[in-house]
Each structure stands twice: as structure tokens, then as C-alpha cells.
Amino acid sequence: MGEALFSIENLRVAYPYPRGEQPQWAVDDVTFSLQPGERMGLVGESGCGKSTLGRAAMRLLPTSSTVEGRVTFQGKPVFEMNPEQMRQFRGEAVALVFQDPMTRLDPLMTIGNHCLETLKAHSPGLSTKEAKEKAVATLAKVNIPASRWNQYPHEFSGGMRQRVAIALALLLNPKMIVADEPTTSLDVTVSAQILGELTRLCAEENMALLLISHDLAMVAEYCDRIGVMYHGKLVEMGDSQAVFSHPQHEYTRSLLEAALHIQGVEGKDAKIKSVGGEKITPLLKVEKLKQYYTIEPNLIERLFKGQGQTIKAVDGINLELYPGEILGLVGESGCGKSTLSRTILQLIPASAGKVEFLGEDLTLLSRQQMRQHRRQIQMVFQDPHACLNPAMTVGKSIADPLLIHRMATPEKAKQQALSMLERVGLKPAQMYYQRYPGDLSGGQQQRVAIARALITRPKLVICDEPVSMLDASVQSQVLDLMLELKQEFDLTYLFITHDLWLARFLCDRIAVMNGGKIVEIGPTKQIFAQPQHPYTKTLLSAAPLLARG
């Protein structure tokens, strides 16, 4: 084996810390190397140091951070490079693909201008014509047609924006790509396409790939080698197949067990919908529900095309949800899942159709009447950090709904909030009550969001991708907690997800959405064993699955 393309030796990183205190190492004595064309996955839970390691190697950390050790690329020490050498190193030698492309793309620049700016910055000798030819060819590699050259980032879906980010990374023919959670916010089908293209291009161009992720199944499928990080240390390293079939470190075993715990459930049979021959009344009944949006045309479009374009986000949905049931709603981004949930809650008024909850049509209620119903229907969102007020303590966030709905005095609301903190596993409750959301991990924040949703004792909880941002071990804990709370509080869940294995683990029935319509619905076991619709089959075939060792 020749000289390593990229090498990290005894790397230690600490973020700024108060004078006089010992540094807290976010990355602690990590050593590994990559060969040309090799694909390596770096896995571990949030806060383990994965992303810090990638940013330290690219010298993208705050200048006040403490960095020790050595990073070399083709034998040249990265930490000793001058600004001009660093500019060439970033992009020309090593390219970065981040988690959320929308935050990395300028909303005021067309996709074409993003490409031209990148090329001109690194190759000023290129003419605009030459630069455009190269850019169009690179975009074609990731299946973006030249016809989209003049479009802006907001006109692309999440998957298409991530393709643009990969194209920008490939423009300068780098020898290595560092991809930091490149598909976390994408659906299973789009994720499979993106990673398939990325690994194919790496093989064709003999580029090395460092894939940073918390998705074990994805890393197992696309990487030759895997490194497992825990509390800043690289606790295990080896061939992907060997690590997954015979994990050596206790933490690796716990990560695998958590992922297999979710994927290992075969799926449930649907609950009985009748008692003593009489059919149970649905808790929620949606009939012919529509949510249409019209995109208003500009002056030129009005002259040549006439009326604006109508987007059918929810297109004639019929759905019944029974007491005590967990119904999964799966489908790719933009299929209408979240729009349907917001229309059910009347956060956005329906274009047409009915939403019956406890026998009452919510679409006919006034805002004041709907507010009274909302204590019976609560929601748990995807990103708890964005949904919790950073200026309010955890305790006040949980108690607040009781005060809004005038269900308790301030003192009783506090006692109920403390009790709910205990119930969701945040102990000692008194300590967590005083903390702020920013002091908590992602898993702890989601427990707070669940506690807040349950404090009004709702009958229906709508969960919109509640664990997609969490790691396998934390996902497993939160899902088990949701099942326990369901029994204890007699809850009914509408569970929205793009992760089919989560849906199989949790749900009694699954409804598959595509293009604003429900294309298939049935018992979970049946959907997985005998999918009927071509789209359901596509979803199932694209979902990566861990094999038991």
C-alpha cells in the first residue's frame, strides 16, 4: 500500500474554555488515514466529535479553539499551510458537502452563477464560455439538466439542492470529499440516489470519501471501512462488514443493538375495529380533504401563460384513525405529509373536505372553538430546538399549555410539569425544570417536547418526523418512551416519517403518500410483506437495512 492520501495523527481539539480550567477535548487523540479511492464512514452519536474532527482537519474551527496533533494531505502538513495554500487545499484538494445545502447556497444567486463563481475563484484563467461548459458537464454528472442553469436554490427540492452541493464539490476535481451528514434531511429514495451517485463518482474519479453520519445502515451499505467515535475518541476501526458482524467495543455493540432493535420488529397486525360486532367510531375521520396552493404568475408569465400554477399539496385524502391506534404516514419530501397534518390541526384552512374529530367537523369551527379542541390534539415536531423558546426554562415551556388553556393555577402547573419531567425520564426533575433548552442534548430536548405535548392530556398526538434528527441509540430510547406513554395516557398517534423501519417498529397501520394522494393503506405487516403499489415497492427497495452478524 502506497503513501496515504490523507492522514490524521494524534488529533486533539478543544473549544474555547475559561482561563484556569482544563480543556474539554471534543476530539481526543484520534489517528487514521485514507488511501486514494477509499470510502470511510465515521459514525457515533451527536456530540461525539465527528463533525468537529472534519472541521478541524479543514481548519474551519474558531481561531480560539485548541488544536493539537498533525493532519497531512499527500504528505504536506495542513496546519502549516499559508492562506494561499489553504485556499487551494479547500476545494481543489478536499471538498466539503454539508448537511443542509440551503444554508450553503446564496438565495440571490442562480445555480449557474454558483458554479461560475466557484470556478473563477480557483481558475481565473478560464473564460466564461469554458467555465460554463465545465459546469454544465459537472451538473449533468449529478443528473441536473442544463435547462435549470438560471434557476435559484428555492426552486429546487431538498434532494436537488444536495445534488447542486455535490456538483459544486466536484467542479474543481478534488482528490477527496468530506460529506458531513449529507442525507439526514432527505427521504429514503432521494438519499439512495444521492449516495449512489456520490460513491459512483468517487469510484470513477478515484476520489477518497469520508462520510460522517449517524445512520449505521447507510454507512454499512456505502463505505469500505468504518470508524466509531465515542466521547471524542475513535473506539473502533475496521472493515465495515467485520465491524458490523463482530463489533469489538461495547459502544459499537450498543449502537448496533439500538438500530437492530428498531429494524428487527416484523410489523404489527392492524387492531380490531369492532367490539361485539359493532364497529368502533373513528377518533379522527378525514373525508375528501384538499389543500391547494396557487403560485401567482409574474407579469411576463401572465401575458404568455395566463393563470398561475396550482399545487395540489393534499389532493382528496380519505383517512380514518381509531382510538388507541398508531397510524404511520410515509412518503418522500414534498408528498404532502406535513401539509396534511397542519390541515388536520387547522393551522392552515382546508381548500375543501372535512376533518371530523370526536364527531365534530373542525373545518366549520371558529378560531376560539378550535383553540379549545387543540388541547385534545397536540403535535411533536421534527426539530425540538426550533420549537422550544430559548428564553424560557424547560419547566415553564412544559407548564405553559396548562396556563394557556386555563387548566391549572401557576403552582399546580409547576407540580404537573415536574411530574411530567419525571415521567419522560428527565431526572432530577427540579434540576431540569430550571434549565434552558440550549443546555440539553437533542434527545433531551425531544423528551421536553413530548412532555409539553402530553401535559394537557390530549387524545391524539401528531408526530411529524419526531426522531429523524436523533442518533440510533437515542431514537430507540425516545420511541420506547412514546410506546410506554401511549399505554399510560391512552394515546392515539398519527406518526409521520420517511423512515420505513421506524414506521414498521411503531405503527399498527401504514398509509403511503405520493403526490398529495394516499396510494396505499393497510396493516403494517401486510404493507411490508405484500406491497401493492409500485411507489411502495420503490420505497421499500431503497431503504438500507442492517444485517445481523
What is the SS3 string spanning 69-104? EEEEECCEEHHHCCHHHHHHHHHHHEEEECCCHHHC
Q: Are residues 285 and 233 in the same domain?
A: no
pLDDT, tens only, 448-470: 999 999 999 999 999 988 887 67
Q: Which amino acid is it at 343?
A: T
CATH number at residue 522: 3.40.50.300
- Copy the grid coordinates of residue 147: 435547462
Distance of CA 176 to the CA centre of its chain: 25
Q: Are residues 155 and 287 in the same domain?
A: no
- Residue 86: is its pLDDT beyond 80? yes
- Which of 178, 207, 134, 199 shows the shortest CA–CA distance to 42? 178
The answer to whether the bond into 428 is cis (omega within 30° of 0) is yes
- Indicate if the pLDDT at residue 311 is higher than 70: yes
Lowest mean pLDDT among 188-192, 340-344, 379-383, 498-502: 188-192
In a domain, 439, yes or no: no
Residues 153 and 175 in one domain: yes
Same domain, 106 and 172: yes
Statement: residue 538 has pLDDT above 90: no
Domain that includes residue 512, residue range = 274-376+458-542
Region 30-41 average pLDDT: 94
- Looking at residue 329, what is its pLDDT? 94
Same domain, 185 and 290: no
Q: What is the DSSP letter of 268?
A: P
Q: How far is CA 63 from the centre of its chain?
A: 29
Q: Is residue 418 part of a domain?
A: no
Q: Are 150 and 229 members of one domain?
A: yes
370-395 pLDDT per residue, tens: 888 888 999 998 777 778 899 999 99
Greatest mean pLDDT among 112-121, 214-223, 537-546: 112-121
More confident residue, 61 or 411: 411
Average of per-residue pLDDT values in the chain: 86
Long-range pairs for 340-343: beta carbons < 8 A, 24 or more residues apart: 340/286, 340/289, 340/291, 340/314, 340/513, 341/379, 341/462, 341/464, 341/494, 341/496, 343/289, 343/291, 343/314
Residues 195 and 77 in one domain: yes
Based on the fold, state whether residues 240 and 353 are members of the same structural domain: no
Q: Is residue 383 part of a domain?
A: no
Q: Which residue has the cell 502538513?
A: 77
| Cell 469510484 found at | 203
Q: Could you tell me if 288 and 167 lie in one domain?
A: no
Whether residue 1 has pLDDT greater than 60: no
3-state class of 146 per DSSP?
helix
pLDDT computed for residue 288 by the predictor:
94
The predicted pLDDT at position 549 comes to: 47
CB-side exposure of 493: number of CA atoms within 13 Å?
28
Flag whether 417 is in a domain: no
Q: Any residues with CB less than 8 A from the CB of 311 and at least 6 apart, and which? A: 292, 293, 294, 295
Mean per-residue pLDDT for 273-293?
79
Residue type, 285: K
**pLDDT at residue 275 above 50?**
no
Express each pLDDT in 472-488 by its tens digit: 777 888 888 999 999 99
Choose one of 210, 233, 261: the last residue of a domain. 261
Is residue 79 situated within a structural domain?
A: yes
Q: What percent of the chain has pLDDT over 90?
A: 43
Give the predicted TM-score (pTM) of the model.
Answer: 0.73
List, for residues 349-366, the tens digit of each pLDDT value: 999 999 999 989 999 998
Q: How many CB atoms lie within 10 A of CB 379?
A: 22
Label residue 275 exposed, middle or buried (CB < 10 Å: 0-12, 13-18, 19+): exposed
Residues 300 and 189 in one domain: no
Same domain assignment for residues 229 and 293: no
Does 55 reside within a domain? yes
Give CA–CA dist 459/491, Å, rounded.
5
Q: Give the containing element (helix H, strand E) for 400.
A: helix 394-404
Last residue in a domain, options 208, 226, 261: 261
Asked, for residue 257, whether it belongs to a domain, the answer is yes
Q: Determine, yes or no, domain membership for 173.
A: yes
Give the bridge partners for 377, in sequence order.
460
The pLDDT tens digits for 394-423 are: 999 999 999 999 999 999 999 999 999 999
pLDDT at residue 297, as a whole number: 63
3-state secondary structure 16-62: CCCCCCCCCEEEEEEEEEECCCCEEEEECCCCCCHHHHHHHHCCCCC
As a whole number of angstroms, the distance between CA 147 and CA 138 comes to 14
The pLDDT-based confidence of 223 (bands split at 50, 70, 90) is very high
| Residue-level pLDDT at 545 | 63
- What's residue 401's pLDDT? 94
Distance, CA of 503 to CA of 263 (rounded, Å): 10
- Shared domain for 257 and 305, answered yes or no, is no
Give every strand in the sheet of 225-230, ordered side by side.
94-97, 176-180, 208-213, 39-43, 225-230, 233-239
φ, ψ (nearest 5 deg) of residue 164: -60, -45
Give the model's pLDDT for residue 305. Answer: 59
Residue ending a domain, choose from 210, 232, 261: 261
Report how many domains make up the chain. 2
Strand partners of residue 512:
330, 520
The alpha carbons of the chain give a radius of gyration, in whole angstroms, of 25
